[in-house]
Each structure stands twice: as structure tokens, then as C-alpha cells.
Chains A and B, each alone.
Chain A
Amino acid sequence: MSEVKEKEVLKVKKSEALLSKRRKNILIDPLDDNNPVTIQVLGICSALAVTIKLEPTIVMSLSVVFVMIFSSLLTSLVRDYIPVRVRIIVQLAIIASLVTLVSEFLKAFNYEMFKVLGAFVGLIITNCIILGRLEAYAMGNKPYDSILDAMGSSVGYAWIILAVAFFRELLGSGSVLGYKVFEMIGWETFPTNGLFVDSIGAFIILGLIIWVQRSRNGYVEN
């Protein structure tokens, strides 16, 4: 009897396709047109500092993707039980637990990388993209949609910082992922520029990436 009932309910609530057009938009929009870093000005805080080399940046982006997806899922699951007044603290507690997990994992399996990233793993907590997406999306939407949104935003963020890291390592240290590319092609006197190892290079490269991306998309900020 109950089985029949369940089938009827399923028929009435005709479920949306796993990757319908709307959901694809949720996933793809933050990659380019609505990029969290270049368009929404979020999450520049904690990540620029690790973009000197490509390798720590890859670890950092993976950590952010992980924290983002799971915090969105968890927040979305408990969203109806969070009192409005303390929601920020609850969200921060969820993020902080996940970041602690990442940080302990790194400490155990890749201690060298943990030392390179240092305090910046902890600073994922205050990455505005994560809190911003939890507040703006996961607090009001179903878990599956929230995961898609989190995936889109975090990957949109990751490709920007990976691009910054690529140029900083290439121009600042003359290498990509530690391989001295210029020496390999026989250009041994490539003039590396200390400015790009420094924080200033990150600001300028990000500024230029923003310029290129916004001109291409035709986005103008007032």
C-alpha cells in the first residue's frame, strides 16, 4: 500500500533532470560571466599570498573546493534549523570544522606543504566567497543545487588564482611547477623579475586579468 503511495508522490513531483538547463547555468555562470573574484570582488583575501608558486596554489584551490562544497551541503541540510540571529556564527563553525579537517590532513600527509601554506590554510575560514555563497545561496536552496553552486563558485575562484600563480611563477622564478622552462628551451639568461615574487606582482597581475576578462565580457562597473 505504502509503495503505491510513494509512486504516486513521485509522479506528482516530477523531478528535474540531474543537469537541467537551470542547473547547468548555476554551475557554469560563476566560471566566467559572474566570476566570484573578478566580477563579485570576493575572496581575494586569503589566497593571493599563496600564489607565488603554482604547486601550493593547486593545494590551496583543492582545499577551497573541498571546504566550499561540503560547507554548502551541510549548511543547506540544516538551513531550516538555524536561527536567523546566530546564523553567521553557525556558518563559521561549519566552515571552521571543515578547514580544521583540511589543515590536519595536510599536517599528516604533506607536512612540507603545510609549512609553506602556514597560517593561510586557516584563513580559508574567512574567505569571503565561502561565507558569501553560504549566506546568499545555501541558506535558501536545496542541497543538490547548493552543491552545484558551490562547485561553480569555487572552480571559478580556483582558475583565477591558478592563472595568477602561473604568471607569477613564470615571470618571477622563470619556472612552471618547479621546472625551469626557459632553461629547457635554451634561454638561460631569462631575466626573472623580483617584483612578481613580491605581493605587488600579484596585485598587478590580478588587475590585468580583471581588465582582460571584463573587456571581453563587456562588464562595466559603475
Chain B
Amino acid sequence: MDLINLIIKSAFMDNMVFAYFLGMCSFLAVSKKVSTANGLGLAVIFVLTCTAPLNWLIQQKILNEGALSWIGPQFATVDLSFLQLLMFIAVIASFVQLVEMVIEKFSPALYGSLGIFLPLIAVNCAILGGSLFMVQRDFNLQEATAFGFGSGLGFYLAIVALAAIREKLKYSHVPDGLKGLGITMLLTGLMGLAFKTFIGMTL
């Protein structure tokens, strides 16, 4: 039950986009059409759900102070936490590369529709942010997975909703200077305001 609460909490109340500004680049750039936003959102859910527990294992078994003691007692004082950023980004980038190769091999159709977004995901701040927040908040392995999934879900909801609004927006008269990015920023602000209503909820 706690895990479901965590998923809901990370998807709605601590939404990656509206509460932490993470993944804004792809959020703004790939939200012109619902279908592409859908593809990117699903890919983000998948990668976040996998990299969060993966990075949790790395943090707990390799990076933390004394974490290496499973190799031998002489490693008990080793503290590798300064390598955290480098390890996390390496895990994410190589995982994305791996997923790309697997999909390319086994499902060319899916690769065709997702292909361009996969490399984009490696530099999506929401993914790295998910891993860093997970460490900050002291989750265990199940919680880390649930958090990864929930955050991905939140990103998915946000990007698909924005894409839907922007498709409708084509038919309205927007001032010249606001066209494109400007009106999208204002829209995001208003959507964030809507998401704020979840904050009062207690689970």
C-alpha cells in the first residue's frame, strides 16, 4: 500500500516537471504532437523504472562509505561517493544505448517510432534527477523502483497533457512574441497551478 501511495505522490504531488522543473527541455521540445509525446513519455517511464533501482544498487553496493566491504574487510573504509555523478550518468547513458540496440534488433517497428527519442532520454534531466532524489530521500530498493515508475508516470501525464493543449492552440490567435515557447511557458505555469491542488492531499 505504501508503494502505491509513493507512486501517486511522485506522479502528482512531486511531479517532476511542475514541482522540480526536470525534463523541461524535452518537455517543451517534443510536445507539439500527442503521438510523439506519447512515445517519449512511455520511453521515459521505462528508462526511469529501470535506472532508479539500478542506480540504487550502485549507490548501496559500491559508492557509499563502507559499501565495498562485501568484497573484503580491507575495503570497509573506502568512500567512493564523489564518483556518484559520473557513475549515474554512465549507467543511464549506457542503459539507454542498450535499450536502443535491443529494440532495434527485436522490434524494428517500435524502433522506428521511438528511435529518435531514445538518445534524447540519456540527457533528460528527469532521469538523472530521479536517481539523485532517490539517494537524497533514503529509499529502499522497492521504494526506489516505485519512485522511478511514479516519476516517469508524472512526466508522461504532463507531456501528453501539454501536447494535447498545444494541438488545440493552433487554432487560437497568440501575440507574435508569445508564439511557441512563450505561450508554452505560461501554459506550463497554469498547468502547474492545477497540479498544486494535489498538495493538500495526505496519503
Contact = CB atoms under 8 A, between A and B. Distances in A.
Q: Interface of chain B, helix or strand or loop or mixed?
A: helix
B103 interface: no
Contact of A204 (B133, B177, B189): B189
B25 A215 contact: no
Interface string B1-38: 00000000000000000111111110011000000000
Contacts, number: 144
Contacts of A210: 177-178, 181-182, 185
A126 B192 contact: no
Given A48-B24, A118-B136, A215-B177, A100 B85 contact: yes
B123 A128 contact: yes
B94 interface: yes
Contacts of A103: 85
Interface string B66-104: 000000000000000011111011100110010000000
A173 to B, nearest CB: 19
A34 interface: no
Contacts of A62: none
A156 to B, nearest CB: 15
A101 to B, nearest CB: 10
A211 B22 contact: no
Contacts of B178: 207, 210-211, 214
Nearest to A219: B177
Given A119-B133, A198-B196, A204-B185, A45 B86 contact: no
A123 interface: yes
A96 B85 contact: yes
Interface stretch (A25-33, A68-76, A86-94): A86-94
B128 interface: yes
A211 to B, nearest CB: 5
B185 A89 contact: no
Interface string A94-136: 0011011001100000000000001100110111100100000
Interface of B: 18-25, 28-29, 82-86, 88-90, 93-94, 97, 119, 122-125, 127-129, 132-133, 136, 175-186, 188-190, 192-193, 196
| CB-CB nearest 7 A-B residue pairs | A221-B180, A203-B189, A207-B185, A215-B177, A119-B132, A214-B177, A45-B125
14 contacts: A41-B28, A45-B125, A48-B21, A103-B85, A119-B132, A119-B136, A201-B189, A202-B189, A203-B192, A208-B186, A213-B177, A214-B176, A215-B177, A222-B180
